[in-house]
Amino acid sequence: MISAEKIPNNVNLSGNKRLQRALEHWQPKYIQWWRDMGPQGFQDYHQVYVRTAVSVDPEGWAHFEYVKLPEYRWGIFLADPVHDRRIGFGDFYGQPVWQEVPGEFRNQLRRLIVTQGDTEPASVEQQRLLGHRCPSLYDLRNLFQVNVEEGRHLWAMVYLLHSYFGRDGRDEAEELLERQSGNRDKPRILDAFNEPIDNWLDFFMFTMFTDRDGKSQLMSLSESSLDPLSRTTRFMLTEEAHHMFVGETGISRILERTCQLMKEAGYSGDVRKVGGIDLATIQKHLNQWFSLSLDLHGGEVSSNAASYFANGLKGRAKEDSYDEHVAKQSYYNMEFFEQGRTVTKEVLLRNAMNEVLRDWYVGDCAAGVTRWNRILEAHGMSDRLQLPDRKFNRRIGMYAGFHFDPAGVAITKEEWDRRQFDWLPSPKDTEYLLSIMAAPIYEPGKFANYIAPPRRGVNQQPIDFEYVRTEQ
Ligand SMILES: [Fe+2]
Ligand SMILES: [Fe+2]
């Protein structure tokens, strides 16, 4: 039986029979999916020290306890309503926001919600084997925290589908559990969510860059005229911040350790000889996940994006910070690639909304890379990490089908084939990473050789706290 105790919520679940019935049907399938496709080998005997959202106030969502993962209480939360909220952009600017889905935008809204929803279980599937290679119990716990929250984000989208989209919504909710990351017949909708994440360098880069795409998408959806979508995504953003923290600090700790090992090995020595991760390998993984995540923002010139904006479905990140919100007569200077060279042309701003969001995303990533470089600087290193040019390694949009080096210089296919593994992880790099992550580290307070301990533990617990315990 569905209950508020099992499913913490602030959507009056106990008073909503229709939603209860829908969830009673969906929830067992979700649990089965979690058992089959969630963290492999951590379903029965492990107790994980995780945070469970039990309400939306600051104490409520920072509630920590030991739980077995399949018993995690996935809840449904909307951020508090904003009094007299008005549509913030597009053709209906200034009108009251919608509490129900307008018939004419039903398909577009459903598509936006399903696309967002599909990424959430996908990432859990991508990460399901990582526990067996964890660098510490602290990191293992962080992985599971991210996983259960992605599961909750799926719940958030399924809540919208069940509540506002009738039968179609119920079908979509089922299909979200049927597609599978990397599955040839039924893949996840977006490419980056079909790439395997089989080592922890990938995991940290994914949570830094791909979860940050989640942040850009959620920020633009939180501007939506559909108020329940806005409120749902606003609450999801609070959880997303933690995922990016895991990614950013994970890489920071690897950099810290790499610098120590470089000093020990002598600056000119190969840090791999002492079991560390060399900066070149770190840069290649950065290149990989940043470029994949740029693709997630969609084509540069997009009539879909224009229509989402015009109809008030998906706004710009921080729409409030713009002077003008209708964007009908404005233009955007876009860099096209034509006949082997780049040319800047004006595009109607509404058609450039994907690129506007990508600009915001690139800026947010760049700030993170600057923070990483401070670690290299503090250790007296002259090397720096950098974001590749946005034309590099693209598979979606107008640069797809051409080849560019990380500086954005056009190169031939032959040169790309010859040099791609100078810029992207090679099978050898992956093999090396898997070799230093061959065995998990389950001893409290111990860390793998390639990563430094964190500055502090979770929820003011010590670093050597038993973040995951085994109970037979
Ligand atoms: Fe998420
Ligand atoms: Fe996330």
293 CA from centroid of ligand 1 (Å) = 14
44 sits in which H/E element = none
CA distance 310 to 258: 48
432 CA from centroid of ligand 1 (Å) = 30
Q: What is the pLDDT of residue 391?
A: 97
Q: What does residue 80 show for φ and ψ, rounded to 5 degrees? A: -55, 145
Q: Report which bound ligand comes closest to the CA of 210.
A: 2
350 CA from centroid of ligand 2 (Å) = 28
338 CA from centroid of ligand 2 (Å) = 36
Closest CA to 177 of 159, 151, 200: 151
Q: What is the pLDDT of residue 333?
A: 97
Q: What is the mean pLDDT of residues 437-445?
A: 96
83 CA from centroid of ligand 2 (Å) = 28
Q: 117 with 151: CB under 8 angstroms?
A: no
Q: 259 with 364: CB under 8 angstroms?
A: no
Cross-strand bridge partners of residue 48 = 67, 468
Q: Is the dihedral of CA 190, 153, 454, 45 positive or negative?
A: negative
CA distance 237 to 90: 23
CA 180 to chain CA mean position, Å: 17
CA distance 143 to 250: 11
Percent of the chain residues past pLDDT 90, beyond the cut: 91
* Crossing angle (nearest 10°) for helices 137-164 and 17-37: 140
Q: What is the mean pLDDT of residues 405-422?
A: 98
150 CA from centroid of ligand 2 (Å) = 6
CA distance 16 to 5: 15
234 CA from centroid of ligand 2 (Å) = 13
267 CA from centroid of ligand 2 (Å) = 36
Per-residue model confidence as pLDDT tens digits over 100-125: 999 999 999 999 999 999 999 999 99
Place of tokens 């058609």: 351
184 CA from centroid of ligand 2 (Å) = 24
Per-residue model confidence as pLDDT tens digits over 127-166: 999 999 999 999 999 999 999 999 999 999 999 999 999 9
Residue 206 has pLDDT above 90, yes or no: yes
Structure tokens at 352: 């450039």
Q: Report which bound ligand comes closest to the CA of 118.
A: 1
265 CA from centroid of ligand 1 (Å) = 40
Per-residue model confidence as pLDDT tens digits over 174-202: 999 999 999 999 999 998 899 889 999 99
Q: Report which bound ligand comes closest to the CA of 207.
A: 2
Place of tokens 């996983």: 147
Q: What is the mean pLDDT of residues 234-257?
A: 96
Q: 123 with 193: CB under 8 angstroms?
A: yes
Residue 264 has pLDDT above 90, yes or no: no
> DSSP class of residue 3?
-
CA distance 176 to 229: 18
116 CA from centroid of ligand 1 (Å) = 8
- Sequence-ordered strand ranges (E) for 292-340: 331-338
CA distance 393 to 402: 9
Count Cβ atoms within 10 A of the Cβ of residue 337 and give its class: 0-12 exposed, 13-18 middle, 19 or more buried.
middle
Write the single-letter amino acid at 106.
R
Structure tokens at 148: 């259960």
Per-residue model confidence as pLDDT tens digits over 10-39: 999 999 999 999 998 999 999 999 999 999
Structure tokens at 199: 């080592």
- Sequence-ordered strand ranges (E) for 135-255: none
